Structure formats: structure tokens, C-alpha cells
Structure 1
Amino acid sequence: MASAPVGTLIGALPRNGPGKTDIIVETIFLALDFVSVGLRLWSRHLQRMRLQINDILIIAALTILTARYAIEVSLVLECGLGLHAEEVAEIGGPDMVILFRKLVFVIDLMWLTLVTLIKTSILHFYLVIFRQTVFVRVVYLVLGLVIAFYIAAFFSDVFFCIPPEKSWLPDTPGHCGDSSTIYIALASTDLTIDIIVILLPMPILWGLQLPTPRKVALTFVFGLGFIIIAITSVRIRFFSNLDPLDITYTFSEIALLSSLVPLLGIINACLPVLAPAFKRIFNSSLLSSTVKKSDNTGSSSNKFHRLNEPELPLVNMNSPYNRHNASDAAGHISVTTDWEVHSIQASDTHINDIEMNK
């Protein structure tokens, strides 16, 4: 393998600590994202289910995330992300700093699209498994908030400078907004939406009649986003440290944290769907058959009915036995799968796991 030419920014990589850290961490988590999405698709296959809208949104997010990863690697290797702008200009020339600003402009827009796709996927998943009328209305309200924020943030980024090319060509006639103020405002709003999305299902999960360990497991599955919230909170702090005159170095403090948000977001969105794959791999039912569709239209009457679309088929409708000879064969029937009885009340949802062995 030929060594990098002396005088290029690739040759400066050994002393570019922030750049190397960025590439290593993003590569590891991107690999985990591919594993998570692969397990998600396998789980759907095990459930004999077609891909849902939330699955398609996650696949789209992973595709965009991969493209963003390639651009960010180019930022490090070709444009000197992590090095001081003075060194980048000295080694690569002034045009290299301009290219850096262009690529940052692109990955910012890709980041907004990514986090919106992930949040939309999570919210759609909520709509699929939780059917309480009030909850559904709240989810649609939050979904509208997510889309409205995306539109506002996208155009705020695009037209941060007028004309837009002034973002990467500072000498272009025109004007730009206050970068720190706008970035902090957008990041704070995004953080608030993240908190709402993560907290939405918690009251329902803890209202289920399940053993505490299973509730804790479900809380972890649905609540991994709290780590993302912590990262976003730290990320906001660094926006005030951005220096337009040393953008290649000061942006490196934000680049990794920004990348971790969608990288972890995809894992967070996939975890609640992975129970069938985990059960097949680890032969564990801790996360299996715990969260299913629940229909609650607010009726005041108590009803018992079989849950719609269970994770695994519970009955073989093509059984060779009919009701005339079922009693004769009763001694040979062994039911080993989990059954669930769903009790619907006006104000609460109860799910009881009943294991029958005959």
C-alpha cells in the first residue's frame, strides 16, 4: 500500500486526534446500525409480516446516514476536520477551507433529514402498537410538530446566509444570521421534541400488568433515547464555541456528537422490534411477547378479546382435528406458546400472560 503524499491532509492524519476519533467511533456505530436494521428485517421475517412504514423510514435513514458517513470521512481525510484552519489552508490551500464549508452545509441538511426520519419512524411504531384514542391523538400532534420543525429548521439552514453560497464563500455580497443563536435555538427545540418522543409511551408501559424486570427491560428498550438526550444537551454547549475563522477545528467538537445522535437513534428505533430475533438467537423471552397492538377506543365496558396480529402465530387453523374428535385427541395436545388476554377498560390497559400446558 503506497504511503500518502507528503504535504496532503491525509498525511496529517497521524497528528489529527479529533479526526481519527471521529472516524473510529462513527465506523463502529455505523456497523452496529447495519446489524440492528438487519435484525429488524429478520424479526419481520420471523413474524411473517410485511415491512411497515416505520421499517421503510429506518431503511431510508440508514441509507442517508451511510452517505453522510462517507462525506464526514472525506471531511477528515481530505479537508482536515480536526486541524486548525491555518494549517489546513497552508497544506491544502484556501480552496480546501471553502470545500470544507460546502460539505458541512450538506451534512447539516442531511442530519436534519436523518433525525426527522428516525423520529417519524418511532412515532409511527407507537401508532401501530398502542391504539388508545387519546394516545393516538397525542402521537399525531407530536408527529405534526416533528414535521413542522423539520421544515422550519431545513429552510433556516438553507437560507442562513442570503445568498446561500455566502455560507461557504464569506466574501460573497449578502448577509448571514447569528450562527450561535440560531444553532442553539434549533438544537434546544430538537432536544425538547426528543424528550417528548421518548417519554410518550412510558405511562402505558408502566401501567401494564407485567413483572417489574420485564417493565424495566421494556423501559430500557423504549428509553435508550435518554442517552441521545444527554448527548444533545452536551452538543448544545459547544455551539457557542464555534469560531468561523477556525471552523475546521472548532467544528470537530460538534461533529462527533452530532453524528452520534442519528447513529444511536437508529439503534433506539430498532430495539423494540428485535424481540423475535433475540428470542431466536438467545432463546430468551424477556423481551418477547410483551408489547403488542392494543386497541382502546375509550369504551366504558370491559371486554376480553384476542389481540390483533400477534408476534408469532398462536393457532394452526389448518389442524386436521375438528370439534367432533377434538375431545378424543385432547390428551395428545400440548400448548407451549404464550397466550395473552387483553382487558380493555376506560382508563387502563391490562395485559396478562397466561401459559397453558396440557
Structure 2
Amino acid sequence: MSSPTKAAINLLIWTIVFTVVDVVFVGLRFLAARISHRKIYADDYFIIFAMMNTFALGGVVIWAVFSSGMGHYAAELSATELQNALKLIPAAYVTWTLGTTSFKLSVLCLYTRIFSIKAFKTLSYVTMGLTVSYCISFMVVFLTTCTPDISQLWNPRPDGHCRDLNIGQLGSVSTNLALDVIILALPMPFVWNLKMALRNKIIVTIVFSFSLLTIGIMIWRIVDLVKNADADFVYNMPTLALTTTLELWLCIIIGCIPTLAPIFRTYITPALTKMTGSRKTISARSNPRNIVTFGGGRGRRQTSYINMMGSQDPIKADIGDIEREAKDNAFREDAFTTTLISSSPQPDIRLETLSTKNAIRVRHEVDTEFSH
């Protein structure tokens, strides 16, 4: 049996590291849900399913490193190693397709949860339909690549044949890329039409734009497929496996980031406030910094944060203006929060949305815990 190549060992290290990172991010996602006392939504279940398929793909990669001779030329492999290498193709394709589809559905379900704009929710549901159709269509296309069945790949028979695998892969990756572009662009017009500070719009756009990473990975994969269309499949398998798994690893992380607002409010913000509000601070900031994050459900009562649709100067904000602005923004009340980080003792302002009356009340509490 061939020994693992350097490329295969590097792929194994990447697999172990990113698997741990994905577990951490999913764990933080559910910790955030517990902190905010919110229920588990459809987007949470979809991200779990995506992670399960990512684990399955990681297991396929680990098995391939030690049993298929990936990274070697096909002519150097035994018949068993070559069969094992070819068996990886359907296993990797099925887990990748299900994993990327689950990630897309998770993001779209999150969209419908945090936006209350009817037109936007309708577009999200339509995109969900396209995503499910993509998954079913290309699963059928790939599993019918060979006649009489997919085992023709590693167990060739005289009366059977297989289509060119690169055609199906290019079609699948290209369609997947187009769907990711649609999902990325979908909220942008609505976000930039909101009545809120330009800085906040930019921050929200950046959060949604993390999907550009997966788009870049898919472009890399398409280029690699075209460039190496006639090359030795087993020799190029480490690169193909890396682009395939890296996309899924990043999908899990990107899908979890927008849900971590309660983690920021509970742990990160108090630590930053303690650091910037210490006695060693020479001068106070006239304009405190804000961290825009995504939340969900009712959480613990927190100090030092304001609703993102609130005024830049909450003390002087006119309640009527805030009510009208919050109504125009058409976000769910738990969609976004902005964490106020002050470098000196600051009043604690709380703007709480009353969902039953669609109004906002302002309460001003003086924080007396700071001392000079």
C-alpha cells in the first residue's frame, strides 16, 4: 500500500483543525441561543445538518488519505487503492451537495426570521425553492452518471459506461456559485434602503458579505477543474478535496457568525467596557463605539446597549422619531443590536421595542458603579 503523500498529510491536518473550529462555532451558536432564551429555529437545524454532512465528508477524506493513495499517480496504485479512490467520488459529491444546500437554507431561514419586509421574505422563499431544486436535480444527475449504476466507476463492466464526471461537477459548482451570489445580493437593497447610520449599513453589509469567501473557493474549484480536466484524477485529488471541504468548513463558520450577538453582549462587551472604562483612561470619547450584531428572541436584561434603529444620541432622541424610524426599517425587533462601548462612565440607555404595541420606550438609568 502506498504511503500518504505530503499533500495528503496536509489535507488531514486541515481537516482536523477545521472540524474542531466548526464544532466551536456551532457550540457558540447554541450557547448564544441559551443566553438569549430563544427557541431553536429552522436555521439552527439546517446548520446542524450541514455540520453532519461536513463531518461525513471529513471522514471520507481521512479514509482516503490512508487507503486510496491520493497524491500518487494512478499508475503507481494497486487495484484496491484505485477502487477506493474512485469510491470517494460519490461519497464526497453527496455529502458536499447536502452540506452546501443545508447552509443555503440556513441562511435563507435566518433572513426570513430577522427581516419583516414581505417582498424580501417572498424572495427568500423563492430562493429556497431554487436551492432545493438544485439539490434534487444534481443529485439525480450525478447518481445516474453511470450505467447500469454508479458502481460502474470502480467496478467497470463490459456492458456499462460513464459520462464525463467533470461536466457534472462544473455544472453543479457553477449553479451553486450562482445561488450563493443571489443569496449574498438578496438583502443588500433592503439594508441600504433602511433609515439608519451609514456606518451601521456598512457593518451589516460586511457581515452578510462573509459569503464572498465561499464564492472565492468555488471560483478556485472551477478553475482547477477546467485546468486539470485531462490530468491524473488521483494525483490531483488532494487539491480537489481541499477546495470541496474548505467550502463546507467556511459555510459552517459563516452561518454561525450572525447569531452570536448574545455572546458579544454577555462576555465580549463587559470585558471591553472594563478595559476602556478603567481609571487609567486619560480622556473620555465623545462618540462611543458601537458593535452591530444580530440577535434573536428575548435575552437577559443588559446594560449599555441600544437598538440599532435608535438615535446616535439616545438621551436627546425624540420618541416619536424613533417610533417612525423603527417602523420604516421593517426589521424584526430582535434582529440587530448595537453594543455601546464607552471609554468613560456613561449613562445606561435602554431602548426596548414593545412588540404588542409597535412602540419604543426610553429609560435612562445612571450607572453608579464607576468611580474616578
Distance in 2, matches of 1:219 and 1:176, equals: 44
Matching of residue 337 in structure 1 with residue 361 in structure 2: no
Give the secondary-structure state (helix, strand or coil) at the position aligned to 1:26: helix
1:152-163 to structure 2, matched below 5 A, reads: 152-163=137-148
Query: Which residue identity does 1:135 align to in structure 2?
Result: F
**Matching of residues 129-148 of structure 1 within 5 Å:** 129-148=114-133
Shift of 1:292: 8.8
Alpha-carbon deviations, 1:204-250, whole Å to 9, x = none? 22333333443333222211100110110110112234568832112
CA distance in 2, matches of 1:244, 1:353: 66
Which of 329, 334, 346 aligns to 1:310? It is 334
Residue of structure 2 equivalent to 1:18: 7
**Inter-CA distance 307–191: structure 2 relative to 1 (3 Å threshold):** closer
Write out per-residue CA displacement over residues 264-323 of structure 1, whole angstroms, 9 at most, x where no aligned residue: 011111111011112323116603468999xxxxxxxx696698663799xxxxxxxxxx
In structure 1, runs of 5+ residues without a counterpart are 1-7, 294-301, 314-333, 343-350
Residue 42 of structure 2 corresponds to residue 53 of structure 1: yes
TM-score by length of structure 2 reads: 0.74
1:23-172 equivalences in 2 (<5 Å): 23-87=12-76, 89=77, 93-163=78-148, 164-172=150-158
CA-CA distance at 1:172 after TM superposition: 4.8
Please state whether the residue corresponding to 1:249 is helix, strand or coil.
coil
Shift in Å, 1:25: 1.9
Q: Describe the SS at the equivalent of 1:259.
A: helix
SS in 1 for 2:68: coil
Unmatched 5+ stretches in structure 2: 273-289, 299-323, 338-346, 367-372
Once residues 140 and 195 of structure 2 are traced to their aligned partners in structure 1, the CA distance between those partners, rounded to angstroms, is 46
Aligned to 1:252: 238
| TM-score after normalising by structure 1 | 0.77
- Higher mean alpha-carbon deviation, 78-87 vs 229-238, is at 78-87
Count of residue pairs the alignment pairs up = 307
Give the C-alpha shift of residue 335 in structure 1: 5.8
| Structure 2 letter corresponding to 1:62 | M
Contact 2:147 2:160 in 1 (8 A): yes
Please tell me the residue identity of whatever aligns with 1:337. R
Taking the aligned partners of 1:304 and 1:205, their CA distance within structure 2 comes to: 13
Amino acid at match of 2:195: Q
Q: Residue 291 of structure 2: which of 271, 286, 289 is its match?
A: 286
Matched residue type, 1:261:
E
1:64-98 residue CA offsets vs partner (Å, 9 max, x unmatched): 211210111110122122222222x2xxx201211
SS of equivalent to 1:117:
helix
1:88-115 Cα deviation digits (max 9, x unpaired): x2xxx20121122112211111110000
Structure 1 CA distance for aligned equivalents of residues 169 and 10 of structure 2: 24
In the other structure, the counterpart of 1:271 is 257
Instruction: Provide closer, same or farther for how the CA distance between residues 230 and 272 of structure 1 changes in structure 2, counting only shifts above 3 A.
Output: same
Q: Measure the CA separation in 2 of the matches of 1:292 and 1:216.
A: 24
Secondary structure of 1:337's counterpart equals strand
Match for 1:72: what amino acid?
A: V
Describe the SS at the equivalent of 1:246.
coil
